[in-house]
Amino acid sequence: MALLVFDLNETLLDLAGLDPAFEALFGEPRVRGEWFGQVVGSALTLGVTGGYRPFTEIAASALAKMGRIHGVAIGEGEVARVAEALRRLPPHPEVPAALAGLRSAGHRLAVLTNSPPATLAAQLTNAGLDELFPERFSVAEFGALKPAPAVYRGTAQRLGVEPAAMTMVAAHSWDLAGAMTAGCRTAFIARPGQVPEDLFAAPDVAVPSLDALAGRL
């Protein structure tokens, strides 16, 4: 049986759940994609330069930048609105049943996210996934952001296994690249707009949705 460690935001939870908040703030939901790209870029930059900031701080900074770009005033209220929407993201439609099936088949499930612990707990509860993940990890425990290899090695250590015994499941090539560097196996979930990055080694498994993963393990 496999030890599957899942990324949370976009892999299991649907970021389209943020669209109403972004439409209310910016007049169009597409800014959500720009914002998330900035969040990822800032996290990567912090990792390369040896810095660490909580994900909520990175998300707020990215939102403020979107405000400057689009000429929208962003204050504490606007940040709070997006943060609350982030805590209430819905799962992708197939996720609850697929995870339950994987667990029933005997696979060990865990989650590893850049979200801080309080946000992680709220996200799992609000998405109805809480009972599926008794083993959950925030990068805050390691003082680094994904895709820093130390995060995946630290997670494997907490799980009591070598990295090679752990399969990182994500919709982001940058996440899987970090996991590969740490010695983990990888599985790519092709969420809308996401394809494997050809600059990195191919994932061990690539599937169109989570319910196709069981047959590839």
Q: Is the pLDDT of residue 165 over 90?
A: yes
* Contact assessment for residue 82 and residue 194, using Cβ atoms and an 8 Å cutoff: no
Q: 101 and 82 in one domain?
A: no
- Least confident interval from 65-69, 88-92, 103-107, 196-200: 196-200
110 and 181 both lie in a single domain: yes
Q: Residue 210: what pLDDT?
A: 95
Do 83 and 167 sit in the same domain of this protein?
no
Instruction: Kindly give, in sequence order, each residue whose CB lies less than 8 Å from that of residue 110, ignoring residues fewer than 6 positions away.
Output: 3, 4, 5, 6, 133, 135, 136, 137, 155, 159
* Cα(66)–Cα(82) distance, integer angstroms: 13
Q: Is the peptide bond before 147 cis (omega within 30 degrees of 0)?
A: yes
* For residues 154-170, average pLDDT: 98
Mean pLDDT of all residues in 166-174: 97
Are residues 128 and 47 part of one domain? no
Are 108 and 166 members of one domain?
yes
Instruction: State pLDDT tens for residues 109-156.
Output: 999 999 999 999 999 999 999 999 999 999 999 999 999 999 999 999
pLDDT band for position 197 (cuts 50, 70, 90): confident
Residue where a domain stops, chosen among 39, 56, 87: 87
Q: Does residue 147 sit in the same domain as residue 61?
A: no
CA 216 to chain CA centroid, nearest Å? 21
Determine how β-strand 166-170 pairs with β-strand 185-189.
parallel
Q: Are residues 46 and 94 in the same domain?
A: no
Same domain? For 8 and 22 the reply is no
51 and 151 in a common domain: no
Please report, for the domain that includes residue 22, its CATH number: 1.10.150.240
Do both 122 and 39 map to the same domain?
no
What does the pLDDT average to over 27-38?
A: 94
126 and 75 inside one domain: no
**Which structural domain range is residue 168 located in?**
3-14+90-216
**pLDDT band at residue 6, thresholds of 50, 70 and 90?**
very high
Residue whose structure tokens are 């914002």: 35
- DSSP for 132-183, please give it: G-SSEEEGGGTTS-TT-HHHHHHHHHHHTS-GGGEEEEES-HHHHHHHHHTT
Which of 38, 55, 87 terminates a domain? The answer is 87
Q: Specify the CATH number for the domain of residue 127.
A: 3.40.50.1000
C-alpha–C-alpha distance, residues 188 and 82, integer Å = 27
Task: For 55-98, write each residue's pLDDT tens digit.
Answer: 999 999 999 999 999 999 999 999 999 999 999 999 999 999 99
For residue 48, pLDDT over 90 is answered with no
Question: What confidence category does residue 50 fall into, taking pLDDT thresholds of 50, 70 and 90?
Answer: confident
Is the per-residue pLDDT at 25 higher than 90? Answer: yes
Last residue of a domain, one of 24, 58, 87: 87
Q: Which amino acid is at 107?
A: H
- Specify whether 38 is located in the same domain as 124: no
Average pLDDT, the chain: 95
pTM for the predicted model, two decimal places? 0.94
Instruction: Report how many domains make up the chain.
Output: 2
